[in-house]
Amino acid sequence: MTTDLRLPTDRIVRPDKDRFLNEENPFEAMMSRFDRAAELLDLEPGLYKVLRHPEKQITVSVPVMMDNGEVEVFIGHRVLYNTSRGPAKGGIRFDLNVSLEEVKALAAWMTWKCAVVNLPFGGAKGGVVCDPLKMSAGELERLTRRYTAGIISTLGPDSDVPAPDVNTNERVMAWVMDTYSMHMRHTVTAVVTGKPIEMGGSLGRREATGRGCMIVTKEALKHLGMPIRGTTVAVQGFGNVGSVAAELLQREGCKITAISDRTGGYHNPNGIDIEAAIKHVRQVRSLEGFTGGDQITNDDLLTLDVDVLLPAALENVITSRNAGKVRAKIICEGANGPTTAGADSILEEKGIFVIPDILANAGGVTVSYFEWVQDRGGYFWTEATVNERLTDIMTRSFADVLQLAKQHKVNMRTAAYMVSISRVATVHRLRGIYA
């Protein structure tokens, strides 16, 4: 059964565009895209107000006994943006740049991301302001468990299901699951996704976001009539998403000519040996010292003459200040919010085909959904089954967005928001408002 994306045209919405002048504000940058899509959909004012505000915002103090015997207090956030379509879904990140505005924006992104690939989830996000690189494993475990206890009233397989994000991993998810399970007095595997396989994690979950980027990049190349073999790709951010996407695209015949991480980038017009780069990162925990290419900066990588640019690092790397210098034909947004609202119009004028983040990196949440389903059913799939079902959802979702983009003569980002907002709005209309 498919959702009819057409909405009544007798609706009025008047977004205040002046509030979006600050393209660095992650929530307002994201909501400027929301407003554009809502305007095109003629979204009724009441629903516009509902969808523009998060359902719940939680800020907690997280006291932690440090290894030196002193107590440090960290600040943690958890935002549930919209749960009309199902339990909230969204990662937990540990980073010094975590803020309530960022977490709110990421929770909204998760709402639209789950809807654009038609998963029965709402959107959430969480984070703790800390520097995990300066903390021991014991300190990180105590931080995780105390943060989990602080937000435990929202957590649960039917209410809020976290996953790994920036600077968190399978081990952190194991601590969250164990803390929640101890409070519930029984093991609850479905409370988090991205867990170790031995604890109910799904095969294929670690590679899922990068694999999703590969799938939609292939679909974009097919749409534009470009051959996969020999396509040149630059990947900014060589973490889990970027490295997996680079490896899989190389296997498909693409030539990865540049990669980078927080320590800098490397360029080789003849192609970088991605397996060697991954091996180097495993040994030294960064690309620093990699000898497979000439050193460049992260800024240089963004403006290389390549067919595909895959930003897979953090937010706001392509802005109105450098968008005019981007020479790629396709941008596949592996990261959340790598392109600011101010850069969108510049990229569109240049004719660059942008696969938006809420579609491009939805492979991770899709396989998280598979993990949640497997945990609840107590029956686990083969990796081949996971990858086959991921490919089906990603290709179908790309086609849905592309069809709407052609129908309304808008870019892929606007079309993706129109698809997702339409699906969330439809559920709100059907459910009504509880009074």
- pLDDT score at 56: 97
- pLDDT score at 317: 93
pLDDT digits (tens, 9 = 90+) for 132-191: 999 999 999 999 999 999 999 999 999 999 999 889 999 999 999 999 999 999 999 999
Average pLDDT for 300-307:
97
Helix (H) or strand (E) holding 116: helix 100-116
- pLDDT score at 3: 41
Q: What is the mean pLDDT of the chain?
A: 93
For residues 141 and 20, the model is more confident at: 141
Q: Is the pLDDT of residue 429 over 90?
A: yes
For residues 55 and 341, the model is more confident at: 55
Q: Which of 25-34, 392-401, 404-413 has the lowest mean pLDDT?
A: 25-34
Q: Which residues are catalytic?
A: 125
Q: What is the dotted CATH code of the domain comprising 208-360?
A: 3.40.50.720
The answer to whether the 54-189 and 208-360 domains have the same CATH topology is yes
- pLDDT score at 31: 82
- pLDDT score at 166: 86
Q: Is the pLDDT of residue 282 over 50?
A: yes
Chain centre to alpha carbon of residue 428: 24
CA distances from 381 to 83, 148, 194, 224 (A): 27, 29, 15, 34
Average pLDDT for 189-218:
97
Tokens of 210: 């990068």
Strand order in the sheet with 294-296: 294-296, 264-267, 255-261, 232-236, 308-311, 330-332, 353-355
CA distances from 240 to 40, 235, 273 (A): 36, 12, 17
Q: Is the pLDDT of residue 15 over 90?
A: no
Domain layout of the chain by residue ranges:
54-189, 208-360
For residues 2 and 290, the model is more confident at: 290
* Dihedral over alpha carbons 198, 202, 204, 207 (to 10 degrees): -90
Average pLDDT for 42-61:
96
Q: Which of 16-25, 119-128, 375-384 has the lowest mean pLDDT?
A: 16-25
Q: Is the pLDDT of residue 2 over 90?
A: no
Chain centre to alpha carbon of residue 421: 17
Average pLDDT for 198-211:
96
Report the DSSP beta bridge partners of residue 354.
331
Instruction: CATH number for 54-189: choose from 3.40.309.10, 3.40.50.720, 3.40.50.10860, 3.40.630.30.
Output: 3.40.50.10860
- pLDDT score at 23: 61
- pLDDT score at 32: 86
Q: Is the pLDDT of residue 29 over 80?
A: no
Report the DSSP beta bridge partners of residue 65.
71
Q: How far apart are CA 69 and CA 245, in angstroms?
A: 42
- Enter the DSSP assignment of 134: G
CA Rg value for the chain: 21
Average pLDDT for 334-362:
95
pLDDT digits (tens, 9 = 90+) for 384-406: 999 999 999 999 999 999 999 99
In 114-225, the DSSP E strands lie at 122-129, 160-164
User: What share of the chain in percent tops pLDDT 90?
Assistant: 88
Q: Give this prediction's pTM.
A: 0.91
